[in-house]
Structure 1
């Protein structure tokens, strides 16, 4: 398989170029579905069946498996996503191109290179008549970049009874794969006060902005750097004019944490903060919740990591693992108790930015690693 995939590099790059040059931002249903149609055709050509899970607003999700295989016997779930963070028209403005040892373009590393890697890993397994291909189920989802609102239930459904979950987010810039991710919560805080002229009758006003300021300070007190708990108030709005006591103010809050136990504690702390106001006459309302559980490094994860590292050693690919604060769909499978490893895609960096890139030298080796890991796990 190693030699076979090395010979496929040019074809892999051609496929990657076609994918990168299709706009597929999370809110661009037509673009995501175009990527889906492209992938569906390719998988059908190698005798895989592709089921489309239709969506009204988001792109359609794809469920992919070898034809004529009993789904209950499939033990390995591979998670990928087709959407990017880039607006429609970005691919035309800065299409796929190669400069030196790197390939560039919108979504090139997050995660269109991984779509190619998974497809060619399947081709390699088929070419060498590996029965492992029959144990793989692949999900191509359409909304990971916006929190997986329509795909989470699908992921959790198909994760049931799986022995392993392999998530194809890109490897870290140093080549590390991801064994733990922090969980995430998003909240919107709204404060209602009473307007008044700040010069003529300020005593009649009840400042929503003042109350919001108190709440922000209290929320930041939840942060515990050593325990991996971080609260960030990223956006605030309020008031109507500089000489008016504000009657309305809002804040949007991002919360990160390492364990599910911490998540429950954070929810209790937020509820306690919102139970009272510091500025008499103001009211507060908070909406939101924990939307991604943490991906915790468990004993079962450690066992899976040892297998991947051993396979890497056999291929002369040194593998180390790390924790990261960013979210991914790995959190959903991990929370179900399924051994999960993320960051199994090729190496790259600057995801979500104009300078996003793929390290070309990692493309074939990481695809090879994936194929051999699947064979070993099966």
Structure 2
């Protein structure tokens, strides 16, 4: 057994205790106080490892926690990335707090993705205690990932903080199979399409009106036709609003699009086509504005990402973890922000589990140990 795994086995109860501590804090994305409470717990742990901590204001959604461990001079840092917010409302912890039975852990955020933060911190702890860290390590923990960083500066903070990173390890969970790690993910954006028409009384003067709703209906058909599932592109008109009364021709109507794409080039083309549709109305004298509310870059499977995976796979087999499989998914990941900035990144290095965003969410307790050991061994060997 390698010395890192041996050390972490001795720390397993401490890993479980820290997991319980942060799981038992309600921290939905909109609850700045709850997210801050988790950040305070994580910050205290970081400081105990000799990390310097700071918090960057991301706007009304709170802050981003940064922890930095010094390393060799002029060496690029390893970037660990994760989030401390969940999708579950306040009060969920009281209804179903952290619980572990055998190898199964349950509780809100147990798979997505609080234990991943514990995994990252104890990997750092093993490297520090065993004096195996050479590179600086920077850990970026955000508080609004589940909201795709809407109305915040988190995207820009991640992009800024990861610049110059040697490589990245994202601590999201891996679904069910301990051999799975992520090398690609689709990106996403939310786009608001707002149609402006002309109000009129539908009985007395209908000829004076220009219906924003009818114009939007024409546009929705065209927008939906942009989807190409085989190419990994989907445009979902997920929300529509418009009108004030049945007898008033509406002068405003909106749709909010949930857009998924496989490459950032696809994203740019999609945005151009959405704007082109908006610029060519079917109903005369209507105008349309397009606003991209938020985005997460796609995590593209670049040559550098594949090379990083090959190195991780080699280390996994050397230390007895086993052979890894490179997988991807349809959900967006903050790892895409780093890959888009030329920081090769492996995703899904957190706990092994399933049931994200549901009452059935669960994770393997053993994977706290095995994944932390894998990460620490990789950083120690790769440098």
Q: Is 71-80 or 19-28 further displaced after alignment?
A: 71-80
Q: Could you tell me how far 1:358 is from its partner in structure 2? A: 1.2
Question: SS of the residue aligned with 1:273?
Answer: helix
Q: Could you tell me how far 1:290 is from its partner in structure 2? A: 6.4
Aligned pairs (5 A) from 1:7-18: 7-18=10-21
Query: CA deviation digits over 1:246-291, x for unaligned, max 9?
Result: 3322110011111222122112211210112112233222211662
Question: SS of the residue aligned with 2:25?
Answer: coil
| 1:350 counterpart residue number | 355
Aligned pairs (5 A) from 1:236-255: 236-255=240-259
| 1:219 counterpart residue number | 223
When normalised by structure 2's length, the TM-score is: 0.91
Q: 1:297 aligns with which of 273, 285, 301?
A: 301
C-alpha separation in 2, matches of 1:263 and 1:40: 36
C-alpha separation in 2, matches of 1:52 and 1:290: 22
C-alpha separation in 1, matches of 2:326 and 2:281: 45
Query: CA deviation digits over 1:199-258, x for unaligned, max 9?
Result: 565444332221111100100111112211110110011223344433322110011111
Tell me, yes or no, if structure 1 residue 110 matches structure 2 residue 112. Answer: yes
C-alpha separation in 2, matches of 1:105 and 1:270: 40
Aligned pairs (5 A) from 1:254-293: 254-288=258-292, 291-293=295-297
**Contact 1:36–1:60 at 8 Å: present in 2 too?**
no
| 1:6 counterpart residue number | 9
C-alpha separation in 2, matches of 1:229 and 1:73: 39
**Contact 2:321–2:370 at 8 Å: present in 1 too?**
no
Stretches of structure 2 that go unaligned for 5 or more consecutive residues are: none
Q: Is 196-205 or 179-188 further displaced after alignment?
A: 196-205
| 1:152 counterpart residue number | 155
C-alpha separation in 2, matches of 1:5 and 1:74: 26
**Contact 1:81–1:111 at 8 Å: present in 2 too?**
yes
| 2:312 counterpart residue number | 308
Q: Could you tell me how far 1:159 is from its partner in structure 2? A: 1.8
**Contact 2:155–2:337 at 8 Å: present in 1 too?**
yes
| 1:88 counterpart residue number | 90
* CA RMSD between the two structures: 2.1
Q: Could you tell me how far 1:139 is from its partner in structure 2? A: 1.5
| 2:68 counterpart residue number | 65
Question: SS of the residue aligned with 2:175?
Answer: coil
Q: 2:186 aligns with which of 179, 182, 185?
A: 182
C-alpha separation in 2, matches of 1:229 and 1:281: 31
**Contact 2:51–2:68 at 8 Å: present in 1 too?**
yes
Aligned pairs (5 A) from 1:180-219: 180-198=184-202, 202-219=206-223
Question: SS of the residue aligned with 2:190?
Answer: strand
Equivalences, count: 376
C-alpha separation in 1, matches of 2:172 and 2:370: 16
Q: Is 268-277 or 85-94 further displaced after alignment?
A: 85-94
Stretches of structure 1 that go unaligned for 5 or more consecutive residues are: none
